[in-house]
Amino acid sequence: MSEYQMLNAISEYVDEHCEEAVSFLQELVRTPSISLNEAEVAQVIADKMRWAGFDSVYVDSLHDVMGTIEGVGNGRSILFNGHIDHVPVGDMVNPYSGEITEGAMYGVDGKAVYGRGASDMKASVAAMVIAGSLLNDLGIKLAGDFKVAAVSQEEIGGAGTVATIEQSQFLGDFVIIGEATNMEVALGHRGSTKAEVVVKGRSCHASAPERGINALYKATDLINKIRSDLVPNLPDHPLYGKTTLTAIRILVKPDASNVVPEECLVTLDCRYNPNFSVQKLNESIEELITCLKNEDDEFIAHIVPREARMHFSGYYTDPEEFPVIGKAIKAVSEVLGKGPKVGTWRFATDGRFYAWRGLPVFGFGPGEERFAHTHQDHVRIEDYLNSVKVYTWLACTICGLSGVGS
């Protein structure tokens, strides 16, 4: 079978089995799996892998699902990584419906599957598993292993992927992260870190606020200073994009309805590039604290010491260092009929855990970043089905072919 014929066979298979593929995605979306509660969805995925003929399927204590279709040998192994947990549903309506909707509702073309986790990132996980089923059904024999890691706890730090790497040694020669790329290619992302600042005040009864020092007001002063003096001057980078910094949480102490708070804990989220280090972030916040102290004798605050990656915690897979990236981009082009844009994600992914170990990491998935973690969480069905085709062809291209059934 020629390359053209094989691509045709893959495309025809997906088109013929589209209802089954969409149904599986809907089943995943309809199975709640907020972080730390992934057991049920893990079982659904493991059962599907076994039904699809994966040679081995293993679920660990964190509910990470690891499935392998063994190659015949002498080929590069490919590892697909996708997380099965999702963030809280927020203000979504019927978040676990998995209903098929009109994409026009979200400003996109065609039909879409709606629900929490559809774009982030159950569509990719479903596509990975269906790709394995396709390989077996068509009798495509790969030279290298086809592996899927459907991991837990990505949304709260990545413990699932770390466990598959460190405890299970479940790795591949080439790693594909299926986080949403809108059918383009992502080769890395910025670093990610949190900074916590304790702002002090003096508590008193809320009926007589003049007797105390409101730590919440002081914390607001700091946040406003960060917004006006620091955020506008954060550095850009031609590859990773602009450094961002935002307040994401304030905790007051005591947390009572009739007490002026004596302390606030402000948590800041920073997505940084090589032009702005974690050390520079801490120094910049310290400078603002000093400035506020000079302006206000009652302002008292300090940064909470914490263990942090002091070097750059993002990553980038350079195609010049890893020529296999060019091969993968070509494979995507062959399926989609056009060359994908190549860039980086705005958010962090589990790809960093593989890149830090020197592995080439390639990002490709259906869904758009802008809909992740929102009340419009959805994925276009056409993109989902095309991702099955892309993942299958990437496996053929990266692993190499040993043979094809009749």
Work out the number of other CB atoms within 10 angstroms of the CB of residue 237. Answer: 16
Between the alpha carbon of residue 187 and those of residues 3, 5, 179, 243, 317, the distances in Å are: 26, 30, 11, 18, 5
Position 308 scores a pLDDT of 54
Structure tokens at 156: 């709260």
Nearest of 55, 79, 58 to residue 68 by alpha carbon: 55
CA-CA-CA-CA dihedral for 392, 398, 402, 405, to nearest 10: 10
- Where helices occur in 30-172 by DSSP H, the ranges are 39-51, 123-138, 159-166
Q: Assess contact for 197 and 226: CB atoms under 8 A.
A: no
Nearest of 280, 302, 278 to residue 290 by alpha carbon: 302
Position 4 scores a pLDDT of 79
Query: Can you tell me the distance from the alpha carbon of 32 to that of 19, in angstroms, rounded to the nearest whole number?
Result: 22
> pLDDT > 90: what percent of the chain?
95
Q: Assess contact for 384 and 365: CB atoms under 8 A.
A: no
Work out the number of other CB atoms within 10 angstroms of the CB of residue 162. Answer: 16
Tens of pLDDT, residue by residue over 65-79, are 999 999 998 899 999
**Buried residues in 57-83 as b, exposed as e (16+ CB within 10 A):** bebbebbbbbbbbebeeebbbbbbbbb
Q: To the nearest 5 percent, what fractions of the chain are helix, strand and coil? A: 40, 25, 40
Position 3 scores a pLDDT of 81
Alpha-carbon radius of gyration of the chain: 24
Position 146 scores a pLDDT of 98
Nearest of 264, 282, 276 to residue 240 by alpha carbon: 276
Q: Assess contact for 139 and 393: CB atoms under 8 A.
A: no
> pLDDT > 70: what percent of the chain?
98
Query: Can you tell me the distance from the alpha carbon of 358 to that of 143, in angstroms, rounded to the nearest whole number?
Result: 22
Question: Tokens 């990236």 correspond to what residue?
Answer: 325
Position 2 scores a pLDDT of 79
pLDDT at 248 > cutoff 60: yes
Q: What are phi and psi of 107, to 5 degrees?
A: 80, 25
Position 67 scores a pLDDT of 98
Structure tokens at 208: 């007589």
For the segment 83-97, the average pLDDT, to the nearest whole number, is 96
Work out the number of other CB atoms within 10 angstroms of the CB of residue 157. Answer: 12
Query: Can you tell me the distance from the alpha carbon of 203 to that of 193, in angstroms, rounded to the nearest whole number?
Result: 31
Question: Tokens 């005591």 correspond to what residue?
Answer: 254
Query: Can you tell me the distance from the alpha carbon of 390 to that of 403, in angstroms, rounded to the nearest whole number?
Result: 19
Structure tokens at 95: 């978040």
Query: Can you tell me the distance from the alpha carbon of 191 to that of 136, in angstroms, rounded to the nearest whole number?
Result: 38
Work out the number of other CB atoms within 10 angstroms of the CB of residue 174. Answer: 25
Position 402 scores a pLDDT of 83
Quick check: helix, strand or coil at residue 17? coil
Tens of pLDDT, residue by residue over 122-148, are 999 999 999 999 999 999 999 999 999
Nearest of 404, 363, 328, 340 to residue 80 by alpha carbon: 363
Q: Assess contact for 234 and 276: CB atoms under 8 A.
A: yes
Q: Which amino acid is at 285?
A: I
Assign 406 a pLDDT band (cuts: 50, 70, 90). very low
Work out the number of other CB atoms within 10 angstroms of the CB of residue 132. Answer: 27
Q: What is the average pLDDT value for the chain, to the nearest integer?
A: 96
pLDDT at 57 > cutoff 60: yes
Structure tokens at 86: 């999702």
> Can you list the domains of the chain with their CATH numbers?
3-189+314-404 (3.40.630.10), 191-303 (3.30.70.360)
For the segment 158-184, the average pLDDT, to the nearest whole number, is 98
Query: Can you tell me the distance from the alpha carbon of 48 to that of 43, in angstroms, rounded to the nearest whole number?
Result: 8
Assign 404 a pLDDT band (cuts: 50, 70, 90). low
Tens of pLDDT, residue by residue over 324-383, are 999 999 999 999 999 999 999 999 999 999 999 999 999 999 999 999 999 999 999 999
